[in-house]
Amino acid sequence: MTLQRGSDFISLIEYVFPPRCVFCNEILTAGVPIYICGKCAKKIGYYNNCINSLNLPGNMETYCDGMICVGRYSGGLKSSLKRFKFNSKPSYYRAFGKLLALKVQNTIHSEKIDMVVPVPLYRYKQKLRGYNQAELIAKYAAEQLKLPFAGGVLVKTSESKSQSALNRNERLINVEGLFKVIKAESISDKNILLVDDIITTGSTVNQSSKALKLAGASRIIAGVIATTRNY
């Protein structure tokens, strides 16, 4: 049974177990549309509602057609994403999925997107973590945007070294050729919102986009929560 936010049952749960801000842990009012308090929401370093380029270095071919990002990877947004990703806080997906959906709605018309696809984790890593944070964000954002969610269409075929331990040039080649598409016919000529939590060099998103493009996708816009880049 799927429970929609705003239902009487969800409201009752939140009344008994009040939601908390994913940034500062402050108790929030039951039924709030997003699990972020007003003070923390104002501190996010939001980016403009526009589509930015990945700006890959040198002559590297770019397969992603642009990026929509909520804000800069700093402050409360950074610490909250780290908890979500590394400290077993899967419930944070609601806040981040809502943030991304709002950013997309304020940037492009959703009818120009045919489906939402998450950047995948290698299956062993996902088993260890217990969830794929990008998948949780993507699924909730798709619900908010009323778009099809295509989880499992894009897969990661093997594990790569942790991107956080590598320099910029190493990151750019670390994930080459690690992604493939299952059931290519499902994405043929489709405009895709490709969702990930954080973009640094853009290598993971670009290689994911490459696999999607080679399988027949038409246009790919990356939707991310945060980036270390300045825009």
- The average pLDDT across 79-102 equals 96
What tokens appear for 225 in the block?
């929560």
**Encoded amino acid at 176, one letter:** E
Of the candidates 95, 112, 96, the one whose C-alpha atom is nearest the C-alpha of residue 147 is: 112
* 30 — pLDDT class (breaks 50, 70, 90): confident
CATH code: domain 45-227 is: 3.40.50.2020
pLDDT tens per residue across span 38-58:
999 999 999 999 999 988 877
Residue 107 above 90 pLDDT?
yes
Per domain, the residue ranges of the chain are: 1-43, 45-227
Whole-number average pLDDT of the chain: 88
**Encoded amino acid at 102, one letter:** L
What is this structure's pTM? Answer: 0.88
- The average pLDDT across 75-96 equals 96
pLDDT tens per residue across span 140-154:
999 999 999 999 999
